[in-house]
């Protein structure tokens, strides 16, 4: 099934209203996080409903859920749009992420059991064996993105607070939109991302709470600074191409 204008081909949804809403939510969320629905772009209820073969009320409920997570903006006059992005918001987002993720990480190290340690080591094993990019591409490998999220989930899973973990995941989704916004990460920065993840794993299993928390905070801010640098560079190139200089 395809909408030949905006919506790409999608599988035929089946099930009750709850299942259909979940299907619409998952598809729209994936399109936003992948960058295929760009920041600030309008989300037309009729077009989405037609493309997904569901009712507009189902789409509206899915978009409302996404707005609660900060991925979609809802306005009485303008309807729904993919959330707009800014340097200031990214800095604010990173500051909040760092506080909450460090809280979860510290709690996990303090309370996590042997099973938690094993899950951290296992998740790191998968991550370190998954290439960040595929051959000939500077764009992050989808499998690495999944493995990276799973590793960070494992780091925090022992904290014992489902609400904190839900907040952490929601903010990480918002940060993923910024990763797409910044353009390809590239490999020319000299940053040892794998080494940072190795250090986080070792500090976690070594129960070195203070060092682990400091390392995680630095890890998150390095990513943000790289995203901002990439975005600024991309804008300068685009402006130069536009002016012919």
pLDDT of res. 124? 99
Rounded CA-CA distance 28/12 in Å is 15
Protein fold of 17-82? Arc Repressor Mutant, subunit A (1.10.10)
* CA atoms within 13 A of residue 81's CA, in its CB half-sphere: 13
Protein fold of 87-243? 1.20.120
pLDDT of res. 234? 55
Per-residue pLDDT of the chain (245 residues; tens, 9 = 90+): 444 344 444 555 555 556 889 999 999 988 887 778 888 899 999 999 999 999 999 999 999 999 988 889 998 888 999 988 888 999 999 999 999 999 999 999 999 999 999 999 999 999 999 998 888 776 678 899 899 999 999 999 999 999 999 999 999 988 888 877 665 554 546 789 999 999 999 999 999 999 999 999 999 999 899 888 876 655 554 454 455 54
β-partners of residue 79 are: 75
Rounded CA-CA distance 172/71 in Å is 11
CA–centroid distance for 242 within its chain? 31
Query: Where, residue-wise, is CATH 1.10.10.10 in the chain?
Result: 17-82
Query: Where, residue-wise, is CATH 1.20.120.530 in the chain?
Result: 87-243
Rounded CA-CA distance 87/121 in Å is 34
Residues in the chain: 245
Q: What share of the chain is helix, strand, coil (3-state, %, to 5)?
A: 70, 5, 25
């Amino acid at each position: 099934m395809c909408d030949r204008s905006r919506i790409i081909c999608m599988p035929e949804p089946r099930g009750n209203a709850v299942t259909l809403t979940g299907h619409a939510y998952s598809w729209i969320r994936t399109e936003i996080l992948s960058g295929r629905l760009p920041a600030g772009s309008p989300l037309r209820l009729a077009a989405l409903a037609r493309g997904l073969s569901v009712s507009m009320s189902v789409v509206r409920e899915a978009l409302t859920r996404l707005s609660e997570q900060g991925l979609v903006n809802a306005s009485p006059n303008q309807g729904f749009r993919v959330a707009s992005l800014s340097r200031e918001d990214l800095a604010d987002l990173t500051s909040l992420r760092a506080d909450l993720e460090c809280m979860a990480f510290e709690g996990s190290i303090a309370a996590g059991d042997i099973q938690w340690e094993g899950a951290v080591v296992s998740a790191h094993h998968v991550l370190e064996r998954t290439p960040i990019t595929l051959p000939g591409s500077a764009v992050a490998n989808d499998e690495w993105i999944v493995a990276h999220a799973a590793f960070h989930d494992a780091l925090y899973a022992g904290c014992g607070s489902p609400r904190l973990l839900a907040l952490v995941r929601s903010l990480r989704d918002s940060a993923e939109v910024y990763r797409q916004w910044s353009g390809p990460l590239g490999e020319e920065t000299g940053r040892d991302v794998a080494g940072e993840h190795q250090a986080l794993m070792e500090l976690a299993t070594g129960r070195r709470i203070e060092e682990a928390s400091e390392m995680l905070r630095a890890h998150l801010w390095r990513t943000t600074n790289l995203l901002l640098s990439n975005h600024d560079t991309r804008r300068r190139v685009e402006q130069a191409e536009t002016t012919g200089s």
